[in-house]
């Protein structure tokens, strides 16, 4: 049923570090084969642990997926909040937001691929409310910046809602094709998307 973090302070850190390793390894395997198609046997092989040892860290397969989603969204939100809430010109805030976002996508490709793959579960099941809220908060941060850009006249959209959805689509899709040593860096991609959205 459970995975309990140690109460002894000296062991706490080691446990968390190892747990992160397990999550990252699992994210990689899930991204390759799919969450549902990956068996716990696949994960024991990939982590080097056996079934019992694995469950010492993860609690259940679903909690493992939850951990991956949280590792994706929580740090992204933490970085995005101060940028979106800053007081510079909206178009500069948008550019900074996109660069941070795409760096995060590039660094957490596996996590995002799993997130996108299992979206139907995350959007439907009650136990995924917390993750849904994270996703919605991030989208609201983006929309606020676009809305303020429109208000100040710095941006103009035929349909702001559609522009936001298009942006979400292109950025999330980036995880499908981005390669770390590819032709374009995360920043170049971010600027490319930004120009696509704002030019004219």
Partner DNA sequence: TCTAAGTTCTAGCGGTCGTTCGGTATAACG
Partner DNA sequence: CGTTATACCGAACGACCGCTAGAACTTAGA
109 forms part of the interface with DNA (CB under 7 A): no
Residue 160 interacting entry, from DNA, a second copy, none, C-beta within 5 to 8 Å by type = none
Rounded distance between C-alpha atoms, residue 115 and residue 119, angstroms: 6
Binding DNA (rule: CB under 7 A), the pick from 24, 25, 32, 40 is 40
Query: Which ranges of the chain would DSSP assign to H, the alpha helix?
Result: 9-33, 40-47, 51-58, 61-84, 90-107, 109-117, 119-124, 129-152, 160-177, 186-198
28 binds DNA (CB under 7 A): no
Q: Of 126 and 200, which has the nearer Cβ to a second copy?
A: 200
Q: Which does 41 bind (CB under 5 to 8 A by kind): DNA, a second copy, none?
A: DNA
- Whole-number Å distance between alpha carbons of 7 and 2: 15
Upper half-sphere CA count for residue 120 (Cβ side, 13 Å): 3
* Of 45-53, 95-103, 116-124, 158-166: span binding DNA (CB under 7 A): 45-53
Q: Contact positions toward a second copy, by CB under 8 A?
A: 31-37, 113, 116-121, 124, 158-159, 161-163, 165-174, 176-177, 183-184, 189, 192-193, 195-197, 199-200
Helix (H), strand (E), coil (C) string for 112-159: HHHHHHCHHHHHHCHHHHHHHHHHHHHHHHHHHHHHHHHHHCCCCCCC
Say whether residue 23 binds DNA (CB under 7 A): no
**Chain residues in the site for DNA (CB under 7 A):** 1, 4, 6-11, 14-15, 18, 38-41, 48-53, 55-57, 60-62
């Amino acid at each position: 049923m459970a995975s309990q973090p140690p109460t002894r302070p000296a062991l706490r850190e080691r446990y968390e570090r190892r747990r992160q390793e397990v999550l990252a390894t699992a994210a990689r395997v899930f991204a390759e084969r799919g969450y549902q198609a990956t068996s716990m046997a696949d994960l024991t092989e990939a982590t080097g642990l056996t079934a019992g040892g694995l469950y010492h860290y993860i609690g259940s397969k679903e909690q493992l997926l939850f951990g991956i989603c949280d590792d994706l969204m929580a740090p992204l939100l933490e970085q995005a909040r101060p940028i979106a809430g800053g007081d510079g010109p909206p178009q500069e805030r948008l550019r900074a937001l996109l660069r941070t976002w795409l760096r995060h996508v590039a660094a957490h490709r596996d996590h995002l691929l799993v997130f996108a793959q299992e979206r139907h579960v995350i959007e439907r099941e009650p136990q995924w409310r917390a993750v849904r809220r994270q996703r919605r908060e991030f989208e609201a941060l983006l929309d606020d910046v676009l809305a303020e850009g429109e208000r100040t006249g710095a941006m103009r959209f035929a349909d702001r809602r559609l522009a936001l959805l298009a942006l979400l689509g292109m950025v999330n899709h980036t995880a499908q094709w981005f390669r770390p040593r590819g032709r374009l860096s995360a920043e170049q991609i971010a600027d490319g998307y930004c120009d696509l959205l704002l030019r004219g």
